[in-house]
Structure 1
Amino acid sequence: MAPVTRFAAFKYKPGTTNEQKRASLDGLIKLYEDNAHMVDVGPRGGANNSTEGFDKGFDVVFTVVFKSKAHRDEFVPDPAHLAYKESIMSIVEDVIVYDYEEGVFGY
């Protein structure tokens, strides 16, 4: 089975404190640590430092490489994942989640 890479980005709501942002990222790291059996790499990420101006206001991005689609599909409905998502929605204005298999374009 081919690995699946997840790209995700968060845009925090105005007024979100650095402490809240750090807590959301610490929770993300713990979530993936607790599910390490599903993941080959990650989470890896950071804050934008591009000078091109195409960040669309997103504050932080990360990638994770799941071992397979089956592992990603096991992770998505996991109660800990659902609880994490719910825990950050009060401070997150927008989210992008994009999963792909390397080199598979579908056309």
Structure 2
Amino acid sequence: MAPITRFAAFKYKPGTIDVQKRQVLDIIVKLYEENARMINYGPFGGKNNNPGGHDKGFDIGFTVEFKSKECRDEFNADEKHAQYIMAIRDILEDVFIYDFERGDYGY
């Protein structure tokens, strides 16, 4: 069972205040901590500081490594994760989630 790395990025809607942004991050970090048995590392992340201008307007990004696809799928199906998604929809303009297996370039 190969690990699965997740990269996630959030773009907040205009008018979202810093307190709301912090709450969103605190909740997802806690959710990953509660499911630590499924996680090899993470979440780790922060604000973009790349000067290239290719951030597409995303405010925050983070990575986490699941122990396996099965662990990732179990995490995604967790009721608390579903509740989290519903709770943040009103303040997010866009979300980018990209899961991959290291070294699997598809060819």
Q: TM-score range by the shorter chain?
A: over 0.9
Alpha-carbon distance, 1:28 to partner: 0.8
Aligned to 1:49: 49
CA distance in 1, matches of 2:75, 2:90: 22
CA distance in 2, matches of 1:96, 1:58: 9
Aligned length: 107
1:57 alignment partner, SS class? coil
Aligned to 1:37: 37
Aligned to 1:72: 72
Percent identity between matched residues is 60
2:24 alignment partner, SS class? helix
What runs of 5+ residues in structure 2 fail to find an aligned partner? none
RMSD, matched Cα? 0.5
Length-normalised TM-score, structure 1: 0.98
1:44 alignment partner, SS class? strand
Q: Which amino acid counterpart does residue 9 of structure 1 have in structure 2? A: A
Aligned to 1:87: 87
CA distance in 2, matches of 1:93, 1:81: 19
CA distance in 2, matches of 1:77, 1:25: 19
CA distance in 2, matches of 1:84, 1:42: 18
CA distance in 1, matches of 2:72, 2:19: 29
Length-normalised TM-score, structure 2: 0.98
Aligned to 1:27: 27
Asked if 1:58 corresponds to 2:77, the answer is no
2:41 alignment partner, SS class? strand
What runs of 5+ residues in structure 1 fail to find an aligned partner? none
1:55 alignment partner, SS class? coil
